[in-house]
């Protein structure tokens, strides 16, 4: 379990660096509530992005993005709704849910990074 946390944190750091290079402004990393944790909250072009990061060291259990199941998306929707309600300045903004899938090599360097944009987020 500890290894998963380390790999996950490393992936989130790589994802944040990628987003900054793509002109996103990072608003918050790992905001936590009783409903769950979000990986990255960012902003670009007046849109608020909630970004789920999935990182793996190999594909024995599937590609990173395959870890974002329908159940996971439902859980994220609930967590995002709570986040928006608790941050009044965000309530009349446009939102988007993205996934960044990262595959690391044996040296923990990114061998693949894929950004999946605008997952269905009906709330």
Render pLDDT for 37-87 as a digit per residue (tens, 0 to 9): 999 999 999 999 999 999 999 988 889 988 898 899 999 999 999 999 999
Q: Which domains does the chain have, with CATH numbers?
A: 2-119 (3.40.1350.10)
The predicted pLDDT at position 35 comes to: 87
Return the percent helix, strand and coil in the chain, to nearest 5.
35, 35, 30
Task: Count CB-CB contacts under 10 A for residue 120.
Answer: 7
* Helices vs strands, H then E, count in the chain: 2, 7
Using CB atoms within 10 Å of the CB of residue 110, give its burial: 0 to 12 exposed, 13 to 18 middle, 19+ buried: middle
pTM: 0.92
Residue 2 burial (C-beta neighbours within 10 Å; 0-12, 13-18, 19+): exposed
Q: What are the residues facing 52 on neighbouring strands?
A: 99
């Amino acid at each position: 379990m500890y290894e998963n946390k380390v790999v996950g944190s490393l992936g989130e750091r790589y994802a944040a660096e990628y987003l900054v290079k793509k002109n996103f402004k990072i608003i918050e990393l790992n905001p936590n509530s009783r409903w769950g944790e979000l990986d990255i909250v960012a902003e670009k072009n007046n849109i608020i992005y909630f970004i789920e990061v999935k990182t793996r060291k190999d594909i024995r259990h599937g590609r990173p993005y395959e870890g974002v199941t329908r159940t996971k998306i439902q859980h994220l929707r609930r967590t995002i709704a709570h986040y928006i309600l608790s941050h009044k300045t965000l309530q009349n903004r446009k939102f988007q849910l993205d996934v960044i899938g990262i595959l690391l090599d044996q040296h923990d360097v990114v061998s693949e990074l894929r950004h999946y944009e605008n997952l269905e987020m009906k709330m």
